[in-house]
Structure 1
Amino acid sequence: MESIIFNILRVAKVIDTDSMLIDSTVLPDNIIYPTDVGLIFKAFRKMEQFARQYYIPIWWDRKELRQLRREYNLNRKKTEIEDLFFDALLIFSAGLRKFKTIVKSLEGPDQDRKKAQQLLALLMLFQDQNALKLGGERHIPNRIVSFDEPDSRPIKKGKKHPSCEFGSTLQLSFNRQGFMITMENFIGKPNDKTLWPGTAQLFEKRMKGVPEHAIGDQGYRSRLNQVIPKGCPHIFLGKSQDVGKEKRDFCQKARSATEGFIAISKNIRGFGCSLYQGSDGNRIWSLLCQTAYNLKKFLQLYNDEKISEESLMRLGLLG
């Protein structure tokens, strides 16, 4: 659906190819703020759901766990939380050992066994994560922040508030009009320098041509990226000397406009939070938001009478 709408606007020459404006942001997932103790309680809920599905008796002391959860909800002092975390982790470690045995002996359809093995792998990864935390490690790669959104990651983008968001990386490109040309989802926070070539190639493929201007911030800056896209006469990556004086003002204003386009996409057009689960869900949600974003942009230009008569005739909107 997104491709059909985009191609109709492109073929009708509503969307210009003159400029490629690239930036990345975070697509937050619809999860509560993760805490180490809270994630342990969530892990027990996942194991309990599994036990109920297969009519397996609960193998941990539910009363003890309920008491720990009550203490956690009532006491939020740092020293007390650390003690609660250690107590909850001991119960979880014992429960996980039993869960391993149950999954290995599980009988049933292959699909059910595969889901149980995936849950076990996720819980074991969470256990390793807790061991690293107890060892004093602060920066844990592929850190689990949600059992409902296992691909969600803590991502910092240099903002004051919020300083960290939980979700996936969203790589976007626009043209100078403000149409969203490309949209890509990535797990975690890949280096912007490595994303630039792929996004530039995708932009060229969708627009069937090379833009006159390629504009990004200094996060994309590298020797390789200063010549991508190939054949683009003006590539601006955050420094005024990247382009000639006659193009400097245009590129700087376009760079500022990119921030505005992203702010609109996140605060008004749905990219502020994904309401679908998993990587596939985030991809579908993003495509739907991109479709709505470009349709709204078209309506804005149409109402402001900024679409040429030729384009309106191609779209059948002008007799």
Structure 2
Amino acid sequence: MYKFERYRQIGLADFNQPFGLKMNPENRWVKKAETIPWDAIEERYAKLFPSKTGMPAKPLRTALGSLLIQKQLGFSDRELVEEITENPYLQYFIGLPGFQTVPPFVPSLLVEFRKRLTEDVLGEINEMIIDYNTPDDPTPGGGNQSDETESDADENAGTMILDASCAPQKISFPQDINILNEAREDLEAIIDDLCDRFYYYKPRMYREKARKDYLNLAKCKKRTAKKIRKAIKKQLQYIRRDRKYLDEFLTKECELTTKQAARLAVIDQVYEQQKYMYDNRVHSVPDRIVSISQPYIRPIVRGKAAAPVEFGAKLDLSMDEKGMARIEKMSFDAYNESDVLISAVQHYFERTGHYPERVLADKIYRNRANLQFCKEHGIRLSGPALGRPRKNAKTDKKTEYADNADRIAIERAFALAKQKYGLGLITSKLDQTTRSSIALSV
């Protein structure tokens, strides 16, 4: 349930300030609140609650404002609620009617905020904020309408910059022996719970011996291939034995909880993958699970010097000539970013009514399909042309140098998002909340 009429957005003059406090209208949070169309977003947010019964939800300004504060300042959920309770400017930013010493909500409610503000909803909110802060421009490229002809209005104008990056997840570095040990411990915990709930006799699972076998490798300074393979074989045997015990229990009158059933499905998949790699003496498998608690995460090979392989979501970000950034594609599975260029250009056309004059992107985007598409629509794709160098090579090199200099803007955007707004290390646990967290960073 959502009461839209109840939460009308307030200005700084309407904010109930405590006696003796005079809030500064030039404060960064006051000025930031003026750049967001709260009322327009509120109407979109109210549609997420079709039910007319139940306890009213928190207003949009409280949900979105709190998450924006958390992204900018890097607070945990508990620390965020404490900071909002102590700071009148933060309370004004999230739409409270006045300063109060009582927490506006419990920290666990932030998880629900992230679930409701999905990737698609935040994408729409991003467009609303961009439109709200962008002055009306009657013609493509910012010209005067009276001086433009109909043919000029259809000409290409503007610039689109496109690049890809990875948002690493906060997980321990995945090692086969560690994943198998965690799977074994989870199986033992499920068996213990079933025995306690249904009064079954606990089977012998050799926990201490399995733990000792794991530590023999985990604490070993020099791990040879033979030692690793031997330790993996033992852990696979322990998991297979525990899985047989669990199957015997499930044939009786007992049921797993929803959480246990989901975890068991992940453990079975991990066992199959590890068994396949052990039997075939390989180190890779399709859709490899690198975290049992977050099985949606996949390894993303980026080839960077600091981290050749990252574990998290891969995303393509586009930036227009006004410096506005948008997420074009986000996926936990590895993909070729060159496939995103055509759809990103089409999105640019849908927003502006014309194609960009130039597209600045890496060499990986310069495949034949993208070059042909850009040629058909009169778009200049940055980079050297295919084939032999032209006669005017000096002019082409100057243009290429200027394009590379302009393309740095999107690298700065990635650096800002990763260093300042949490994109460098995602701490969310769920698939949906992780996507929302990445969208909030942008």
TM-score, normalised with respect to structure 2: 0.57
Aligned amino acid, residue 82 of structure 1: R
**Shift in Å, 1:72:** 3.0
**Who is 1:30 aligned against?**
170
Q: Is 1:260 aligned to 2:412, yes or no?
A: yes
> What do the CA deviations read for 1:18-46 (whole angstroms, capped 9, x no partner)?
22211111111110011111001111232
Q: Select which of 234, 242, 246 maps to 1:99.
A: 246
* Change over 3 Å in CA distance of 1:271–1:181 after alignment to 2: same
**Whole-Å separation in 2 of the counterparts to 1:210 and 1:200:** 7
**Who is 1:276 aligned against?**
428
**Shift in Å, 1:167:** 1.4
Q: Is 1:198 aligned to 2:343, yes or no?
A: yes
Aligned amino acid, residue 256 of structure 1: I
**Who is 1:160 aligned against?**
305
**Who is 2:83 aligned against?**
none
* Change over 3 Å in CA distance of 1:287–1:58 after alignment to 2: farther
**What is the aligned-residue RMSD (CA, Å)?**
3.2
* Change over 3 Å in CA distance of 1:260–1:14 after alignment to 2: farther
* Change over 3 Å in CA distance of 1:232–1:166 after alignment to 2: same
Give the match's secondary structure for 2:404: helix
**Whole-Å separation in 2 of the counterparts to 1:29 and 1:82:** 28
**Who is 1:298 aligned against?**
none
**Who is 1:47 aligned against?**
187
* Change over 3 Å in CA distance of 1:198–1:5 after alignment to 2: closer
1:10–1:207 CA contact under 8 A, matched in 2: no
Deviates more, 1:230-239 or 1:55-64: 230-239
**Shift in Å, 1:283:** 0.8
**Who is 1:219 aligned against?**
364
Aligned amino acid, residue 131 of structure 1: K
**Shift in Å, 1:6:** 3.5
**Shift in Å, 1:219:** 1.4
**Shift in Å, 1:195:** 2.5
Aligned amino acid, residue 268 of structure 1: K
Q: Select which of 118, 122, 145 maps to 2:266.
A: 122
* Change over 3 Å in CA distance of 1:230–1:98 after alignment to 2: farther
Greater RCO, 1 or 2 (C-alpha within 8 Å, sep 6+): 1
* Change over 3 Å in CA distance of 1:250–1:227 after alignment to 2: farther
**Shift in Å, 1:12:** 3.8
**Whole-Å separation in 2 of the counterparts to 1:170 and 1:218:** 17
Correspondences of 1:1-319 after superposition (within 5 Å)? 2=122, 3-13=124-134, 18-54=158-194, 55=196, 57=202, 60-79=205-224, 80-103=227-250, 107-108=254-255, 112-113=257-258, 115-134=259-278, 135-205=280-350, 210-228=355-373, 233-239=378-384, 245=396, 247-290=399-442
Deviates more, 1:59-68 or 1:166-175: 59-68
> What do the CA deviations read for 1:150-185 (whole angstroms, capped 9, x no partner)?
011111112111111111212211224543122532
1:34–1:145 CA contact under 8 A, matched in 2: yes
**Whole-Å separation in 1 of the counterparts to 2:307 and 2:167:** 13
Aligned amino acid, residue 220 of structure 2: N
Deviates more, 1:84-93 or 1:259-268: 259-268
* Change over 3 Å in CA distance of 1:211–1:68 after alignment to 2: same
**Who is 2:10 aligned against?**
none
Share of identical aligned residues, percent?
21
**Whole-Å separation in 1 of the counterparts to 2:371 and 2:125:** 32
**Shift in Å, 1:59:** 5.5
> What do the CA deviations read for 1:253-278 (whole angstroms, capped 9, x no partner)?
22333333222222332111111123
**Whole-Å separation in 1 of the counterparts to 2:251 and 2:413:** 51
Q: Report how many residues are paired.
A: 287
Deviates more, 1:149-158 or 1:203-212: 203-212
Give the match's secondary structure for 1:224: helix
2:187–2:239 CA contact under 8 A, matched in 1: no
**Whole-Å separation in 2 of the counterparts to 1:172 and 1:106:** 52
Give the match's secondary structure for 2:167: strand
Structure 1's unaligned 5+ residue stretches are 291-319
1:29–1:275 CA contact under 8 A, matched in 2: yes
TM-score, normalised with respect to structure 1: 0.77
* Change over 3 Å in CA distance of 1:81–1:136 after alignment to 2: closer
**Whole-Å separation in 1 of the counterparts to 2:410 and 2:277:** 38
Structure 2's unaligned 5+ residue stretches are 1-63, 65-121, 142-156, 388-394
**Shift in Å, 1:61:** 1.5
